[in-house]
Structure 1
């Protein structure tokens, strides 16, 4: 089954006050080229995202974008130890009174907030929250990749239909070449017979040279082998197209072999009608080559 390198997929997953939207876009490229855009705070997850993309997307230029939105109130990661702050203020006020110093509540509060152990960090809770967030994000990434692959498969099915049309057109023109080749042979034979008559009337006629020239012309005008090879290449292209292992590189290699046989037929036929058929076959072949560049 063919898969196009052009694809797009997006997915949004919401849970636990978090909304994660992942977007995957792929274009043509000889290799797998990944560009990631992650929000601040998740840049340390880029390697994991790249691994997911590499495992699922075989080839192409990949643009990945992740956006995160908090849909619920955030819990502070740092809290204040209020009982301890109250104790600090009370102790500072008693100390100031004992020394007959006048202090305002604002001054006492600022001093208390600068004392040790006033701020509490919920580290364990933060780790759990980060792991839950990543699990949600990972789900969105995988869904976006899956939808991108579905898009690629749909495009691949469309390309497969086009390939079959192009190959069928070349096959039809090859049949026309075979028909015209039968009509071409008598005219070539008459041309050679006329040339032989002229040579036989020449006193300096060299029979050995004549035989060499005759063999040369026979080989030059005969396209039997090229027709057989071209037909075999067309059949092989269709066979590969129907397999699970079909890929752009292999199809392009077969297309190159098809092109060689078409060019040889055009150069050896020496017939205007066949030349027109060759031009039409080349036109279809260029479409095939262009489309194989978009197949994984």
Structure 2
């Protein structure tokens, strides 16, 4: 079981001294959302970066940041002489048109974007793409290792909460197990209050008791709750993403315990049902962190 929260860092050396540095972080989210930040000269690697993220993560909001350390290698400065010449020509024409004398300051024009540039790494250089992938994979591997550790902590918390829920259900079961006797007692008390004579073995009373007992029977709900406990524990041992399955199972838990509470109607059951739902809600909040 994996958490959706994690962090990982990786790096790979290229050409002896140049290096890619990758960092991956993530938080919980229902779907997979990948945000990627790369140096502009390596934007062509974004497609591969998304593919790599998809191999390691199926759900969550993932942020990948990759930087490139040139290792102090000298950068070749390039000048777009054609663009610079055009700018000089236009400036001279404008100065002439408005009656200004003097020359154009070329150093000022060299600040115009696009005139001066640095050498751009060749994306096709042997080993460059492999180094990029190595750094990203290393970051994603460490990211997954952290999510596994977080998942183990969540698993322990879930086991404790399941034990609490099972304890509450064990308290509920005997209270609803003798539902027929409870209904019979309440009916006799109501009849006595109305001064209506009736014996404990009266056929009419027994029919009423059976009718209401059948409507109040919660055997199926209790059986399904036990089944849900077993299924949830199986999810805890899964290595594949189970967050969505757990979330669905929580809905089934809520449905069964709500039906049980409504059908039982016993005063002693109500506070236990409320406590059960409260613990379920805490469990459901934690499940939002599971991939």
Please report the TM-score for the alignment, with normalisation by the length of structure 2: 0.74
- The answer to whether 1:277 aligns with 2:282 is no
**Residue in structure 1 matched with residue 215 of structure 2 by the alignment:** 220
- 1:110-147 deviations in Å (ceiling 9; x for gaps): xxxxxxxxxxxxxxx9576x333332222111100101
Task: Output the aligned Cα RMSD.
Answer: 3.0
Structure with the largest fraction of helix:
1
- The structure-2 alpha-carbon separation of the partners of 1:250 and 1:198, relative to structure 1 and needing over 3 Å to count, comes to same
- For 2:261 and 2:46, the matched residues in 1 are separated by 54
Q: 2:288 aligns with which of 265, 280, 293?
A: 293
Partner of 2:44: 44
Structure 2: how far apart are the matches of 1:245 and 1:210? 56
Q: Does 1:188 align with 2:183?
A: yes
Tell me how far 1:235 sits from its aligned partner: 1.8
Q: 5 Å matches for 1:240-255?
A: 240-245=235-240, 247-255=242-250
Tell me the residue number matched to 2:66. 66
Give the secondary structure class of the aligned counterpart of 1:41: helix
Match of 2:196 in 1: 201
Q: Look up the SS of the partner of 2:33 in the other structure.
A: strand
Change (3 A) 1:271 1:127: closer
1:148 aligns with 2:143: yes
Q: How many pairs were matched up? A: 246
Q: What are the residue-to-residue correspondences of 1:227-246 with 2, within 5 Å?
A: 227-245=222-240
Name the structure 2 match of 1:6.
5
SS of the aligned residue for 1:71 comes to: coil
Instruction: Assess if the C-alpha contact under 8 Å between 2:184 and 2:209 holds in 1.
Output: no
Equivalence for 2:34: 34
Distance in 1 (alpha carbons) for counterparts of 2:122 and 2:77: 7
Worse-superposed segment, 14-23 or 216-225: 216-225
User: What is the CA–CA distance in structure 2 between the aligned matches of 1:10 and 1:245, rounded to whole Å?
Assistant: 23
Please state how far the C-alpha of 1:265 moved relative to its aligned partner: 1.7
SS at match of 1:58: coil
- Higher-Rg structure is 1
Residues 18 and 133, structure 1, Cα contact 8 Å, conserved in 2: no
- The verdict on how the C-alpha distance between 1:225 and 1:73 changes in structure 2, with shifts beyond 3 A counting, is closer
Counterpart for residue 18 of structure 1: 18
* TM-score scaled by length of structure 1: 0.73
1:74, CA displacement in angstroms? 3.0
Unaligned stretches of 5+ residues in structure 1: 79-124
How far the C-alpha of 1:47 sits from its partner, in A, is 0.8
Q: How does 1:157-168 map to 2 (within 5 A)?
A: 157-168=152-163
Aligned-residue offset at 1:7 = 1.2
Any gaps of 5 or more consecutive residues in structure 2?
79-120
Q: Give me the whole-angstrom Cα distance separating, in 2, the residues matched to 1:57 and 1:235.
A: 27
Q: 1:272 to 1:246 in 2, by over 3 A?
A: farther
Q: 1:156 to 1:136 in 2, by over 3 A?
A: same
Structure 1 runs, 4 residues or longer, greater than 6 Å off: 207-212
